[in-house]
Amino acid sequence: MRVGVVTFPGSNCDADAQRAIDGVDGLRAVRLWHGDADLAGVDAVVLPGGFSWGDYLRPGAIARVAPIVQELRRFADAGGPVLGICNGFQILCEAGLLPGALQPNRDGRFRCMDVWVKAEGRACAWLPPLSRPLRLPIAHAHGAWTAPEPELQACEDRGQLVLRYVTATGERADAANPNGSARDVAGVCNAAGNVLGLMPHPERAVHADLGSTDGLHLLTALLGRSA
């Protein structure tokens, strides 16, 4: 299965994403450039973390008009699996492929730490149902996902709030939420379930030497199997 990894000016997790994908039997990463006019026939697409276009205006605000993102809209509308990680999540929200927006962390600080997240809501292409929390790292300054209350409740009702910040034992608690995200949301999917955005970095949790292999669950889900 060929998984495209898009590089924007300012991306800094694209090589990490490529290595993580290539480390899964059955997946092969294909490098894509933000100025490309097509997706080279890939089966899935990852928008990696970083600081596309230096986060000028807002994180993801300039990247959303890149040629590759216009093609990504057509791919997603046709049911193609799309994963946005950190800055990729911000781009997907700015592009209207996911609901809501990412705001500065509630304490105004860049947060770099391991967190625990739990899968809830509907199953999606990148996230099979899981009974235990996942340990994943975060590294962001604009990670507080929010939406107007009617949209927030609609997302809740449709099961689109698929990842929540929790404690190590799986309970929601204010202290477990690192950025002030509404309803402890760490990840959101679209109504169809093929597009997922999340602030934690699964590509940095694919080997025991990195402290966790829980990120593999999001990649092996594409192949219909558990990590």
Over the stretch 41-58, which tens digit does the pLDDT of each residue have?
999 999 999 999 999 989
Q: Pick from 92, 86, 189, 88: which is nearest to 141 by CA? A: 86
Other CB atoms within 10 A of residue 182 CB: 17
Which of the residue ranges 112-116, 137-141, 221-225 would you say has the lowest mean pLDDT?
Answer: 221-225
Provide the pLDDT confidence category of residue 101 given band limits of 50, 70 and 90: very high
Which parts of the chain are beta strand (E)?
Answer: 2-7, 28-33, 44-47, 82-85, 101-103, 111-119, 134-140, 144-146, 163-166, 185-189, 195-198
What is the pTM assigned to this prediction? 0.96
For residues 11 and 49, the answer to whether their CB atoms sit within 8 Å is: yes
Which of the residue ranges 25-29, 187-191, 219-223 would you say has the lowest mean pLDDT?
Answer: 219-223
Q: Kindly report the backbone phi and psi dihedral angles of residue 23, in degrees, each rounded to the nearest multiple of 5, phi listed first.
A: -85, -5
Distance CA 160, CA 43 (A): 22
Instruction: Say whether 124 is catalytic.
Output: no
Provide the pLDDT confidence category of residue 170 given band limits of 50, 70 and 90: very high
- State which amino acid sits at residue 220: T
Instruction: Say whether 86 is catalytic.
Output: yes
Which of these is catalytic: 34, 140, 142, 201?
Answer: 201
- C-alpha 184, offset from chain centre: 15
Distance CA 221, CA 204 (A): 17
Q: Kindly report the backbone phi and psi dihedral angles of residue 210, in degrees, each rounded to the nearest multiple of 5, phi listed first.
A: -90, 0
pLDDT of residue 69 exceeding 80? yes
Q: Pick from 24, 74, 83: which is nearest to 49 by CA? A: 83
- pLDDT score of 65: 95
54 backbone φψ class: left, alpha, beta (φ>0; ψ -120 to 50)? left
Which of these is catalytic: 13, 86, 124, 189?
Answer: 86
Scan for tokens 């105004």, then name that residue: 108
Distance CA 162, CA 149 (A): 17
Is CATH 3.40.50.720 the right assignment for the domain spanning 2-223? no
Which of these is catalytic: 13, 93, 189, 203?
Answer: 203
Q: Which residues of 4-24 are buried (b: 16+ CB within 10 A; e: fewer)?
A: bbbbbebbbbbebbbebbeeb
Instruction: Say whether 140 is catalytic.
Output: no
